[in-house]
Every structure is written in C-alpha cells, then in structure tokens.
C-alpha cells in the first residue's frame, strides 16, 4: 500500500504542484488540504479528522502555508500540527519550527542564543515603548521596522526618527525593530540559501536598485560563485539547526564592513526565484529527503 503524504496549503501554487508531482513519481499518495480543514474528532482513535481518511493518519505531512485568522483559529491549527507530531507523524516543518519562524522576534532570539550573527533587534508592544527604543538607538543609525508576521518584503519601512514610527493600529501594536545594515550599493544585494534535511540545496544572490531585495519586490536572482559560498552554507545550516527546521529559506545580508548577518529563517519558503538560477530541482530534492525518511527502500538518500 502506498504511503500517504498530506500537503497542508491554503492555495495550490506552483510549489504545491511541483511537490505533488515529485511525490507521486516516487509512488506516494498525495492529499492536499488547507490546515483549516483538518479537525480534532474524539470519535477516532487518532483524534484527528482529515477529509476522506476516516481517522486514519498520513505517513508524513508537509506544511506549505497557513492562512491568516483569529488568534483562536491559528492556535487550533498549530495544535493540529502538534497533535500529528505527538502521534508520530513526521511534520515538515514542525509546529515548533513554524512558531519560531513566523514570529521574527522569536527567530532572532534563537539565532542570538546560538551565537549566530544577526542585526541588533528590539521587539516591543505599544508606541511608548517603541519610542523609548528609538530615542536610545537612533543615534547609532536608522532602524528597520518589519511586520512581526510577514514575508516577501511586505510592510517594511525605514525609521530615521521617532516621527517615522507608525500608529499602533497600523501594526497591531507590535514594533519589531532591527538595526539597518549599511551596504555598498546600488545595486544592493543579499542572499537566500535553501536548506533541507541538513544539506544546502541551493543559494542565490538577490540584487535590486533599492535596499529591499526580495524577488516579490522586483529583486533579481543570480548564481553565487566563489569562496563566499562556503561561509553562506555554514551560516544557513547553523541557522536551520538553531530554529529546528527540516527545510528552510535562510536570508543572509552582507554588511559594508564584510560581515555576514542572518536576517530571517523562513519555514514556508517559496523557491521559484531560486529555482531559476540553480540546477538542482528543489521540489524533487525535498521529496527525496522526505521519502527516504519514511520509506528508505523506495528512495536513495540525496547526494551531499
């Protein structure tokens, strides 16, 4: 009987389609549902209700996206991920890893605790507390305000003075402030490194005329060459280990003084931009790693 892989995603995007194809090529049965459709149901021994499965559990699960919702809804969805792991179902990425990544302040905490280089960061609630941080820190240079929960460069703004701080209503009264990293430019650059199962699948340099280099904001990806690759790989693998991700997109920025600083770790990364500049097939590699874990006889371990 074929193993069943559950892909949890709110939309059938290119990444989901590629994963489904790759897993089916390896003999897997693939189901795709939004996490909001997975319920708790005490009638079943497993306690979990997945549409059409009558209480039976999948052999593994991949989390591609979790849509926004109320605090109660998000708590319940993460509870489902915790429950699947408790029942012995491998979940890539785990609820713990997702929680650590989706909250940027928690990501920074674990990176710092692991001794990894990351920009100075301050996360507080209320405009008064944000102003206190700004008064203390802006004399050392500008700060970057980011949404605590956000991706693809949306909602990022530069804070030069106290008046640049937005009203609490605009950002749900949470101020995540990070030291602006001075870089040589334009064009400006940073790096995205994709890790999976303790290996680096690929990396790209992102370039843009503005200081926000995300591909979704118009940045252009290109191949990373030279000795810098080894240092980027080392940092990305260490960051992934510190957060506990099975696969991740790690963003690393070069400061003008030559230091490399880890900005973020993404537990639900897109890879379309990266795939355009690296030869390895990312969805195929994720499928290989997952299948090897649950059914090693069906797959060879991905090459180092």
Distance CA 153, CA 214 (A): 6
pLDDT tens digits for 154-182? 678 999 999 999 999 999 999 999 999 98
Share of the chain above pLDDT 90, in %: 80
Domain 184-270 has CATH 3.30.470.20: yes
256 or 81, higher pLDDT:
81
Q: How confident is the model at residue 303 (pLDDT cuts 50, 70, 90)?
A: very low
Q: Where are the domains of the chain?
A: 4-92, 121-179, 184-270
Question: Residue 151's pLDDT is what?
Answer: 54
Name the architecture of domain 4-92: 3-Layer(aba) Sandwich (3.40)
Distance CA 38, CA 123 (A): 33
Please determine, for residue 92, whether its predicted confidence score (pLDDT) is greater than 70.
Answer: yes
CA distances from 215 to 97, 168, 295 (A): 24, 28, 35
Residue 226: which of 205, 253, 240 has the closest Cα?
205
Please determine, for residue 152, whether its predicted confidence score (pLDDT) is greater than 80.
Answer: no
Class of domain 121-179: alpha beta
- Hey, how many other C-beta atoms are within 10 angstroms of the C-beta on 71? 7
* Mean per-residue pLDDT, 261-274: 94
Q: How confident is the model at residue 153 (pLDDT cuts 50, 70, 90)?
A: low
- Hey, how many other C-beta atoms are within 10 angstroms of the C-beta on 221? 21
Least-confidence region, from 27-36, 156-165, 250-259, 290-299: 290-299
Please determine, for residue 238, whether its predicted confidence score (pLDDT) is greater than 90.
Answer: yes
* Mean per-residue pLDDT, 38-44: 96
Is 0.85 topped by the overall pTM? yes
Please determine, for residue 189, whether its predicted confidence score (pLDDT) is greater than 80.
Answer: yes
Please determine, for residue 142, whether its predicted confidence score (pLDDT) is greater than 60.
Answer: yes
Question: Residue 210's pLDDT is what?
Answer: 82
**H/E stretch holding 41:** none
């Amino acid at each position: 009987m074929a193993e069943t892989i559950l892909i949890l995603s709110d939309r059938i995007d290119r990444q989901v389609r590629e994963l489904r194809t790759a897993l089916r090529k390896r003999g897997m049965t693939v189901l795709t549902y939004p996490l909001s459709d997975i319920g708790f149901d005490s009638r079943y021994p497993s306690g979990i209700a997945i549409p059409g499965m009558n209480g039976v559990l999948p052999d593994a699960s991949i989390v591609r996206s979790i849509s926004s919702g109320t605090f109660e809804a998000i708590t319940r969805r993460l509870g489902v991920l915790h429950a699947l792991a408790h029942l012995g179902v491998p979940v890539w990425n785990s609820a713990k890893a997702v929680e650590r990544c989706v909250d940027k302040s928690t990501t920074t905490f674990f990176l710092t605790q692991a001794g990894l280089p990351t920009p100075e960061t301050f996360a507080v609630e209320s405009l008064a507390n944000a102003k206190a941080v700004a008064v203390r820190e802006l004399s050392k240079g500008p700060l970057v305000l980011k949404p605590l929960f956000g991706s693809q460069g949306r909602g990022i703004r530069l804070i030069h003075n106290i008046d640049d701080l937005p009203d609490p209503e605009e950002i749900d009264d949470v101020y995540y402030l990070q030291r602006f990293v001075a870089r040589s430019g334009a064009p400006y650059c940073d790096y995205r490194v994709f890790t999976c199962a303790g290996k680096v699948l690929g990396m790209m340099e992102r370039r843009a005329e503005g200081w926000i280099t995300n591909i979704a904001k118009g940045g252009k990806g290109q191949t990373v060459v030279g000795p810098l690759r080894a240092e980027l790989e080392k940092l990305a693998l260490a960051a992934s280990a510190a957060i506990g991700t099975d696969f991740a997109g790690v963003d690393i920025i070069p400061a003008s003084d030559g230091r490399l600083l880890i900005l973020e770790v993404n537990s639900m990364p897109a890879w379309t931009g990266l795939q355009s500049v690296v030869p390895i097939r990312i969805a195929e590699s994720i499928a290989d790693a997952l299948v090897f874990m649950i059914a090693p006889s069906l797959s060879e371990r991905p090459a180092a």
